[in-house]
Structure 1
Amino acid sequence: MGFYLPQTDKVIATQETYKAYGTTDITVRYRDTASETAGSKQVTASNLKFDLTNGFDEQILTGSVRFKAGADTFIDRSGLIYRNVDPTTGSATQSGSIQYGTGVVTVDSWTPGADNTLTLQSLTTTTDLLPIHHVSFRTPTIPIRPGSLTVVVGAISGGQLTLTANEAGLIETTQAHGSINYETGFVDLYFYTKTKITEANRAEIEAEEWYLPELEFIEGTDHYINVPFWIAADSVRFNAVAYTYIPLDADILGLSATRLPPDGRVPIFRVGDLGIISATKLQELPSHVAGQTYNLNDQRISWCELQDAHGSKVPFDLYTVDYDYGRVTLGGDFALGALVAPISAKHRYQDMGLINDVQINGQVTFTKPLTHNYQAENTVVGSALVINDMQSRYTAKFVQSVWNNTWADTASGASLSANYNDALYPIAVTNKGAIQERWAIVFTDSTNFRIIGEDAGQIGTGSINVDCSPINPVTGSPYFTIKKEGWGTGWASGNVLRFNTKAATFPVWCIRTVKQSEPTTISDQFQIMFRGDINRNV
């Protein structure tokens, strides 16, 4: 319930003439002692409500109100009432609200047991500051961190509004409608309430000074109008977090930052490029029986691996994956060993498509529909680096009389009569086995030699009497194959056959950026995934 202080409406002075009655008997009834039915009742009020501008129509300036009720001192801040402000810290207890247009104060928190004496200590009003329903401003620093803007306004007839912009920069409430451009810092806010016009309220709405017939609009069969929600212009406050960028030394960064944007961010999505939508999930298997096949919740997956309860990977030779139907089959000799149950399947499914449109709010449109269902919590949208067709090969074959440990692509020193006939017996390389490397076949006598790579080091030995096929341990295929029939005669210790192999791979520089901050995890890791198109023989 509310408690209202008594207020005087008006005082009127009149003159009245009284005279005594003659012989008429006058009967008087009275009592001289209290009745036994007399008593008292204590009423507890839930709030106090009073008008600071009673008797005049002027708008209160924000921050000018100060009054005392009992032992408590109250002030206003942007439409709210606070009591007992700490002069050291500025903190106080929120105790109610104030309407700057009407002067009505509602206090819902005070020190109990105090008297209800109200003392006004400070109040400033004006007739020049008109209420507004549209606010536009620009933040002094840009860009603004998405989701960090908060705007506080004091309503003329309804306390305080606290507004927060979402990640897209939109502000949408019943009374406030607007947005912020995080890049430019421009904020545009309209304050109104969408109201349905009925026969009961049409006359009242049309009587307002701001009403114009052009402001009405129709939705369906109903008529609506946006009724202004008036706010005090001097009550608008905002708070936001802005980014400040420090130029980095090119030596520390590892690349020249001259052509980078001021914020260091570059677009990764462009119209006409390829985009990848990927969802990664972790599904616990119901058991781990050798030879058993388990169905995953998704089909047409692009990647899958098994791991135990601690995240340790299950060796790939202990299971097989049917990517089309989303099935995992444990090998017949599968055993946990050092692994810890339960076993889980971590799998991923993807869609790749051509990007048709890119919006500044982050919305990306593809030219074709997606073929999987994606959830926001486990989905990532990324761009793709197109490599085109790749094929392994060998280049720069030559012979040299003496091996001087210099990895040059041309011969040096005296000429050599011995050679390898790669015209009839070319050095064979495969996409699976070849790597990006410079090779030296260094002879130790007339028939035997060492196989040395610039980065791989010595990986084996060989002879001109048998085919030379050193195995790549990663893929299980030869780095290259030198046919025994191609060797000529005349080789001696120290002679060298030099050639380079070009892998069916593309050079990619990976730079990982971590913002300056305190560490939140002990360890971190990431994976790089390559996609390839192959021809299937059906």
Structure 2
Amino acid sequence: MSFYLPATSKIESTETPLRAYQEVDISVKYRDTSGLNSSSSIVTADKLRLDLSSGFDEQILTGSARFKVGSDTFLDRTGTLYRNVNPSNNSGIASGIIQYGTGKVEIDSWTPGVDNTIVLESLTTTTDLPPMNRISFRTPIIPIRSQSLTVVVASLEFGQLTLTTDENGVIETSHAHGSINHDTGFVNIYFYTKTEITVANRAEIEANDWYDPLLEYDELGKTYINVPVWIDASSVRYNAIAYTYIPLDSEILGLSATRLPLDGRVPIFRVGDIGIISASKAYELPNHIAGQTYSLADQRISWCELEDSAGSKVPYDMYVVDYDYGKFTLNGDFALGTLVAPLKAKYRYQDMGLIRDVQINGQITFTKPVTHNYDAENSIVGSALVIGDMQARYTRKFVQPTWSNAWADEPTGGAISANYNDALYPILTTNNGAIQERWALVFTSTTDFRCIGEYTGQLGATGTVNSDFAPINPVTDAPYFKVKKEGWGAGWASGNVLRFNTVAANFPVWVIRTVKQSEPTVLSDQFQIMLRGDIDRIV
């Protein structure tokens, strides 16, 4: 009887996970004749892995690695490997990563069907470059536009890290945690991995040189530690978009910009100020029947007006609005006339409240809940310019002997015996009729006088001391003021003057509208200023 040893046909290297078997039968297959039962298999690899610094433990310098795999040449750029870089335009194919701390390379793109010979052409290492896990820097230009900062850095274990800030300027990944101040351009980033400490890994963590018991912290009943992610400080680079503002001449702008912020933007929301939430909507009338009442989709509205399809406003005296119930009624004699159907009702409802908190992300908190439903499409939030109570009045009453066409608030030319007794008969003004004006009543005889305004000029109406004088404001059909006949004393002569000022029920507001430099997108543009006031309800 003869015994033949197995003949070797080829040798293959494979990696197979092994485990222990217990109480099972193991079957072994073998062949005793060369050439019989031979087979071949094709293995498709997702990545090629190799170690450029095998046999020594030194940190690789950024951009120093260059090697060939088959016919492909790979270059290192901040932890990313590029294949077959074109020297004419310096562009290549991103094909993998390199770990500067371990020298391990992972290639996920290569030319198939060629030999796998590896040739190291260039590599520089060092032992004098200490790793870091925190970087801080400031951009040279400020302010920085939101979500525009991108930081690229090479880590020693995880390859290249590309970090981008969110709208709040925060960087939050599994390996990097930081932020940027958009106003100052200061960037601060920590590199670490939040790791739970368990019985299994405690010994391994405590064996590191950086470990300190004070670094441990508890969270939700578990113990954690921030394991440093070491980076190569020389590999850090960033990209950001900054704003540059061109200062305008104060004569062009219309006011001095000395006290304005650098970017020209003024904060409009502050804690303790009044804020208003407003929603603007439109309702198209199905018809236009005189005397009919139409209901809007919302109640407790604050403003409503009607206009036709061409944008012309329907006269306010042709309909009545019920603001509490969100309804409006066309007058019984309503007629379309020159208006173009269909008609449309534009209305608005609002909530006003005291601002309790203002966050940098734009979130505003009021001291009370809102009473309407608001959607983002039709709603805005604005601050309020609190004016307070306004009431028309008159001031600076005095007399002088002659009229010199000089509008001064003090008498000139000496004293006269005649006067007007406004202590018993004050000059009457109304909010509806009074305007901001300086008036002069110039006598043309011992009883008659003419009325002159600094801006309105001489009025057509003349007065006499024998009757009340109340010139009409043509805009509101209400008197500018009313001078009682009982207040006139004796002794008036031709040329004498009674001077006084009227103060209107208004508030001085400067409205400046800024349009950025660009090509016009519409032929015309307009805006509307509205006053929001409180009313007294009559029960």
Partner of 1:274: 273
Larger mean Cα displacement after TM superposition, 246-255 or 496-505: 246-255
CA contact (8 A) 2:353 2:368 kept: no
Structure 2's unaligned 5+ residue stretches are: 1-11, 15-31
- Give the Cα–Cα distance (whole angstroms) in 1 for the partners of residues 196 and 206 of structure 2: 13
CA contact (8 A) 1:309 1:344 kept: no
- Give the Cα–Cα distance (whole angstroms) in 2 for the partners of residues 73 and 306 of structure 1: 74
Structure 1 residue 347: deviation in Å?
Answer: 1.1
- Give the Cα–Cα distance (whole angstroms) in 2 for the partners of residues 180 and 186 of structure 1: 6
Structure 1 residue 338: deviation in Å?
Answer: 4.0
Structure 1 residue 125: deviation in Å?
Answer: 2.3
What percentage of aligned pairs have identical amino acids?
62
Structure 1 residue 236: deviation in Å?
Answer: 1.9
Task: Check 1:307–1:327 CA distance in 2 against 1; reply closer, same or farther (3 A cut).
Answer: same
Structure 1 residue 178: deviation in Å?
Answer: 1.8
CA contact (8 A) 1:418 1:490 kept: yes
Structure 1 residue 501: deviation in Å?
Answer: 0.7
2:234 partner SS: helix
CA contact (8 A) 1:296 1:328 kept: no
Partner of 1:505: 506
CA deviation string 1:465-519 (max 9, x = no partner): 764434435444322223455567898887765432111222223334455x334
Partner of 2:56: 56
Amino acid at match of 2:275: I
Partner of 2:296: 295
Amino acid at match of 1:56: F
CA deviation string 1:290-319 (max 9, x = no partner): 42322334x444334445667665543444
CA deviation string 1:323-376 (max 9, x = no partner): 3344444555264954464725341412231x5556666665555555455556
- Give the Cα–Cα distance (whole angstroms) in 2 for the partners of residues 358 and 411 of structure 1: 52
Partner of 1:137: 137
Partner of 2:66: 66
Q: What root-mean-square deviation, in Å, do the aligned CA atoms of Structure 1 and Structure 2 show? A: 4.4
CA contact (8 A) 1:288 1:343 kept: no
Structure 1's unaligned 5+ residue stretches are: 1-5, 9-27
Structure 1 residue 440: deviation in Å?
Answer: 3.7
Task: Check 1:95–1:533 CA distance in 2 against 1; reply closer, same or farther (3 A cut).
Answer: same
CA contact (8 A) 2:276 2:384 kept: no
CA deviation string 1:218-258 (max 9, x = no partner): 43344444333333322222223344566654444444445
Partner of 1:165: 165
Amino acid at match of 1:57: D
Partner of 2:427: 427
- Give the Cα–Cα distance (whole angstroms) in 2 for the partners of residues 39 and 336 of structure 1: 96
Task: Check 1:89–1:429 CA distance in 2 against 1; reply closer, same or farther (3 A cut).
Answer: farther
- Give the Cα–Cα distance (whole angstroms) in 1 for the partners of residues 415 and 240 of structure 2: 74
Partner of 1:343: 344
CA contact (8 A) 1:301 1:350 kept: no
Partner of 2:480: 479
- The alignment's TM-score, normalised by the length of structure 2, stands at 0.75
Amino acid at match of 1:172: E
- Give the Cα–Cα distance (whole angstroms) in 1 for the partners of residues 13 and 368 of structure 2: 72
Structure 1 residue 151: deviation in Å?
Answer: 1.7
Amino acid at match of 2:286: S
Task: Check 1:116–1:310 CA distance in 2 against 1; reply closer, same or farther (3 A cut).
Answer: farther
- The alignment's TM-score, normalised by the length of structure 1, stands at 0.75
1:234 partner SS: helix
Task: Check 1:459–1:142 CA distance in 2 against 1; reply closer, same or farther (3 A cut).
Answer: same
Amino acid at match of 1:294: S
2:135 partner SS: strand
- Give the Cα–Cα distance (whole angstroms) in 1 for the partners of residues 269 and 137 of structure 2: 31
2:509 partner SS: coil
CA deviation string 1:106-139 (max 9, x = no partner): 3444567776555444332223334333222333
2:276 partner SS: strand
- Give the Cα–Cα distance (whole angstroms) in 2 for the partners of residues 306 and 101 of structure 1: 73
Number of residue equivalences: 506
Task: Check 1:535–1:205 CA distance in 2 against 1; reply closer, same or farther (3 A cut).
Answer: same
2:473 partner SS: coil
